[in-house]
Amino acid sequence: MNGDKENRQAKRYPTSCIVELDSGTGVTRNLSTTGVCFTTDKAFEQGLMLRCFILMQRTGSNITRLRCEGRVVRADKSADGWEVGLHFTTFDW
């Protein structure tokens, strides 16, 4: 890191969940109450509004689909494709 203060508003939790998008799928890297970071094979423009579903499952329980809408705050090329940061505007269980 280059010493810049990060703009994180909430604690992030490392997790690996499937992300369903209109244009394909991704996998979460981390999740917080204000946003999600996920990898995908598609680039998204900063500022774009996205809708997605995050599939969450505890061991031995049913899958819960978290419906999210948010604004893309970053999209960086990575070894896994694209790393996308989404700041939630709404989410619903």
* Assigned domain for 56 exists: no
Domain extent for 85: 36-48+77-93
Please write the tens of the pLDDT for every residue from 25-60.
999 999 999 999 999 999 999 999 999 999 998 878
Q: Within a domain: residue 8?
A: no
Is residue 92 included in any domain, yes or no?
yes
Query: Does a structural domain hold residue 65?
Result: no
Structural contact between residues 35 and 86, judged by C-beta atoms closer than 8 angstroms: yes
For residue 90 the two structure tokens come to 């709404």
Please check whether residue 4 lies inside any domain of the structure: no
Given pLDDT bands bounded at 50, 70 and 90, which one contains residue 61? confident
Q: Tell me, yes or no, whether 19 lies in a domain.
A: no
Lookup: tokens for 73: 């705050």
Residue 67 in any domain: the answer is no
> What's this model's pTM, rounded to 2 decimal places?
0.86
Q: What pLDDT is recorded for position 82? A: 97
12 within domain boundaries: no
Please give the pLDDT value at position 6. Answer: 55
Count up the domains in the chain and report the number: 1
- Is the pLDDT at 2 greater than 50? The verdict is no
